[in-house]
């Protein structure tokens, strides 16, 4: 039986999403995969006992999870009483309590109050474990790790590292599919053949029930980035560019993208993004053409920056006049469009970018383009790029050609 089939047949998981801060985000971490900080459904302060009771009465499993959102154990001395009261409410209805946290210094204080704890791992948590694990003897503790947003072959190469991590921890290791991933995973190829390392597919999270500011399912709460990418990458009226396309070209070098840059040739694209993916768009244009929009979804996920143009030629002119060679690539309907494929790929793979000599056609750019490009330069530097501002390169119009996407990066379906 496939992993996803087994999860589909199991009773639905129920999770209470917490954020104890009345204003702001109650978590000490800034995780690359976390989209909760700006979610309109993030609670501020704890849910009422009545809301918790009404929610958990619908559960057919033996346990309820308390998770983030923010971290349930954040500033435990200040907010711990509210967590313990919520756990007591859950247990009073006959359910076991599972808590997910990174605040390892407070885990021992959950003894007798949480039936088991899942410790989310990162480099800081791993470094701190040895100072605390001796306090957890007799407690049910497992470890979890969010997978990087990579295709299956790249994750298969990481299996020896996960196996070594599991041996070092000596407890069950849960590998969670990254909700930001656009790649469909083959869990049969990723299986370790034993129950010591298990996978949680994002399909399970998207089908689960959550109590945030509302009672909802995961599809209402979290963006399905694989489904979103599948639409964006295969519609001929859409041209993608920026960090998202760098991720397509080299997912191991550019694992994360902060937003999705889109050129749309039809206004209907905005309607599809609104209807299917929960986006609301605000226009930020300073002139009638092209029109610029910023899109944020009611679901936790990546924002969309969209430029509305009238033709594919305009879309490519816009992308191929970018300030750096690594930005001069677009993806549309399963096909890459490069301004000098070898040069652009080299710049993306090495994170060494150059300005392109010659006259740039900036007629389609926002009038604030110099400020936008300065910010873009600083963003690239923060992300570890090397920038050769003076390096001479071919003019953009000398070398414009197209390369099919499948076989050299994700094609139809985002895989």
Tens place of pLDDT per residue across the chain (415 aa): 344 454 456 789 999 999 999 999 999 888 878 888 888 899 999 899 999 999 999 999 999 999 998 999 999 999 999 999 999 999 999 999 999 999 999 999 999 999 999 999 999 999 999 999 999 999 999 999 999 999 999 999 999 999 999 999 999 999 999 999 999 999 999 999 999 999 999 999 999 999 999 999 999 999 999 999 999 999 999 999 999 999 999 999 999 898 999 999 999 999 999 999 999 999 998 777 789 999 999 999 999 999 999 999 999 999 999 999 999 999 999 999 999 999 999 999 999 999 988 888 888 887 778 888 899 999 999 999 999 975 433 333 334 444 555 333 333 233 2
Whether 253 and 197 map to the same domain: the answer is no
Whether 157 and 105 map to the same domain: the answer is yes
Q: How many domains does the chain have?
A: 2
Structural domain including 302 reads 225-414
What does the alpha-carbon distance between residue 32 and residue 255 come to, in Å, rounded to a whole number? Answer: 10
Nearest to 201 by CA among 229, 218, 225, 177: 177
Whether 65 and 182 map to the same domain: the answer is yes
Query: Which residues share a beta bridge with 64?
Result: 97
Whether 70 and 119 map to the same domain: the answer is yes
Whether 122 and 210 map to the same domain: the answer is yes
Q: Which string of b and e fits 342-372 if b means at least 16 CB within 10 Å?
A: ebbbebbeebebbbbeeebeeebbbeeeeee
Q: Pick from 197, 221, 245: which residue ends a domain?
A: 221
Q: Determine the pLDDT at residue 134.
A: 95
Cα 83 to the chain's mean position, in Å? 27
What does the alpha-carbon distance between residue 178 and residue 68 come to, in Å, rounded to a whole number? Answer: 15
Q: What is the C-alpha radius of gyration for the chain, rounded to an integer number of angstroms?
A: 23
Please report how many Cα atoms fall inside a 13 Å half-sphere around the Cα of residue 190, on the Cβ side.
25
Sign of the torsion formed by the C-alpha atoms of 381, 383, 385 and 389: negative
Nearest to 257 by CA among 299, 219, 224, 304: 304
Q: Determine the pLDDT at residue 59.
A: 96
Q: Determine the pLDDT at residue 38.
A: 81
Q: How many CB atoms lie within 10 A of CB 257?
A: 21
Whether 399 and 261 map to the same domain: the answer is yes
Q: Determine the pLDDT at residue 34.
A: 86
Q: Vertex 65, ends 61 and 70: CA angle to 5°?
A: 160
Following DSSP, what letter does each residue of 258-295 receive, concatenated? Answer: SSEEEEESSTHHHHHHHHHH-EEEEE--SSSSSEEEEE
Whether 276 and 387 map to the same domain: the answer is yes
Whether 254 and 202 map to the same domain: the answer is no
User: Could you tell me where the beta strands, DSSP code E, fall in 140-237?
Assistant: 141-146, 173-176, 197-200, 209-211, 215-217
Q: Pick from 172, 200, 221: which residue ends a domain?
A: 221
CATH of the domain at 164: 3.20.20
Q: Pick from 189, 221, 253: which residue ends a domain?
A: 221
Please report how many Cα atoms fall inside a 13 Å half-sphere around the Cα of residue 47, on the Cβ side.
29
Query: Which residues share a beta bridge with 352?
Result: 386
With beta carbons less than 8 A apart as the criterion, state whether 98 and 114 touch. Answer: yes
With beta carbons less than 8 A apart as the criterion, state whether 401 and 344 touch. Answer: no
Whether 37 and 176 map to the same domain: the answer is yes
Q: Which string of b and e fits 121-159 if b means at least 16 CB within 10 Å?
A: beeebbeeeeeebeebeebebbbbbbbbbbbbeebeeee
Contacts (Cβ under 8 Å, ≥6 apart) of 9:
none
Whether 195 and 302 map to the same domain: the answer is no
Nearest to 317 by CA among 290, 283, 292: 290
Whether 52 and 184 map to the same domain: the answer is yes
Q: Determine the pLDDT at residue 305.
A: 96
Q: Determine the pLDDT at residue 392.
A: 39
Element holding 400 (H helix, E strand): strand 400-404
Whether 138 and 124 map to the same domain: the answer is yes
Please provide residue 2's backbone torsions phi and psi, each rounded to the nearest 5 degrees: -65, 150
Q: Determine the pLDDT at residue 8.
A: 54
């Amino acid at each position: 039986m496939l992993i996803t089939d087994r999860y589909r047949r199991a009773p639905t998981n129920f999770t209470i999403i917490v954020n104890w801060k009345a204003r702001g985000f109650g978590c000490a971490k800034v995780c690359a995969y976390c989209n909760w900080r700006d979610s309109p459904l993030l609670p501020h302060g704890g849910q009422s006992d009545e809301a918790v009771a009404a929610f958990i009465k619908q559960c057919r499993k033996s346990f309820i999870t308390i998770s983030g959102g923010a971290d349930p154990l954040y500033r435990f001395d200040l907010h711990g009483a509210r967590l313990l009261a919520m756990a007591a409410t859950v247990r009073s209805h006959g359910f076991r309590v599972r808590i997910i946290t990174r605040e390892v210094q407070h885990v021992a204080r959950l003894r007798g109050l949480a039936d088991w704890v899942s410790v989310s791992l990162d480099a800081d948590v791993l470094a701190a474990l040895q100072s605390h694990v001796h306090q957890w003897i007799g407690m049910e503790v497992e470890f979890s790790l969010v997978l990087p947003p990579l295709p299956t072959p790249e994750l298969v190469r990481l299996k020896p590292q996960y196996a070594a991590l599991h041996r070092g921890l000596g407890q069950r290791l849960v590998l969670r599919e990254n909700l930001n991933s656009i790649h469909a995973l083959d869990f049969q190829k990723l299986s370790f053949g034993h129950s010591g390392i298990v996978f949680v597919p994002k399909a399970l999270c998207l089908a689960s029930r959550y109590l945030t500011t509302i009672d909802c399912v995961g599809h209402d709460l979290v963006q399905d980035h694989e489904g979103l990418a599948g639409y964006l990458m295969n519609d001929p009226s859409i041209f993608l560019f920026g960090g998202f396309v760098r991720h397509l070209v080299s997912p191991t070098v550019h694992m994360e993208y902060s937003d999705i840059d889109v050129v749309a040739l039809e206004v209907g694209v905005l309607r599809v993004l609104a209807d299917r993916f929960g986006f609301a768009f605000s226009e930020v244009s300073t002139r009638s053409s092209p029109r610029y929009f910023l899109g944020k979804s009611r679901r936790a996920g990546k924002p969309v920056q969209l430029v509305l143009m009238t033709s594919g030629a305009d879309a490519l002119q816009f992308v191929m006049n970018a300030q750096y060679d690594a930005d001069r690539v677009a993806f549309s309907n399963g096909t890459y469009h490069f301004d000098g494929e070898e040069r652009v790929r080299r710049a993306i793979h090495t994170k060494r970018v150059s300005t392109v000599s010659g006259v740039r056609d900036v007629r389609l750019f926002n009038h604030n383009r110099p400020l936008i490009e300065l910010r873009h330069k600083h963003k690239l530097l923060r992300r570890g790029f090397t920038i050769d501002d003076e390096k001479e390169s071919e003019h953009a119009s000398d070398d414009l050609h197209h390369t099919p996407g499948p076989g050299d990066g994700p094609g139809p379906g985002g895989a």
